[in-house]
Amino acid sequence: MAKYTDVYLLPVPKKNLAAYKKIATAAGKIFRKHGALTYSEYVESDLKQQKGISAFPQVMKLKKGEVLVYSNVTFKSEAHRNKTMKAVFKDKSLEAMMHDAPVFEMTRMVYGGFKVLVDL
């Protein structure tokens, strides 16, 4: 059972979504190869809430033609995440992907690590 997760939110131009999916799939395989328990990517489907506040578009400052992508990578623990991430960032195939033309603005990505609070 996973006890730690990294979460990423990033705006991706719709026109680049297929290219992003290709890169994300390759990156996911690298994460899994080095120990991540799961690697998932989701694209927005419904950000308009009937009640309450849907702040994603405002907080992420989505531009016209962009969609929001949510990524989730799970690990056994925070220590396991740290060990896995060291290996991931040393992986030469990930390094090669980083040098390709960017399909989204890395500076607009937000991310963080989270310990599991409730897991039913």
- pLDDT per position as a tens digit, 46-102: 877 666 666 777 778 889 999 999 999 999 999 999 999 999 989 988 777 766 668
In a domain, 35, yes or no: yes
In a domain, 82, yes or no: yes
- pLDDT per position as a tens digit, 69-82: 999 999 999 999 99
C-alpha gyration radius of the chain: 15
Q: Give the number of domains in the chain.
A: 1
Domain range for 88 is 4-45+54-115
Output the domain CATH number for residue 35.
Answer: 3.30.70.100
- Residue 93, phi then psi, degrees to nearest 5: -70, -35
- Kindly provide the residue ranges of all beta strands, DSSP E only, lying in the chain, ordered along the sequence: 4-13, 38-43, 66-75, 110-115
Task: Specify the residue for token string 């994460």.
Answer: 31
In a domain, 120, yes or no: no
Structural tokens at position 80: 């396991």
Q: What is the pTM of this model?
A: 0.86
> What average pLDDT does the segment 26-32 reach?
95
Q: How far apart (Å, rounded) are the C-alpha atoms in residues 17 and 13?
A: 7
In a domain, 29, yes or no: yes
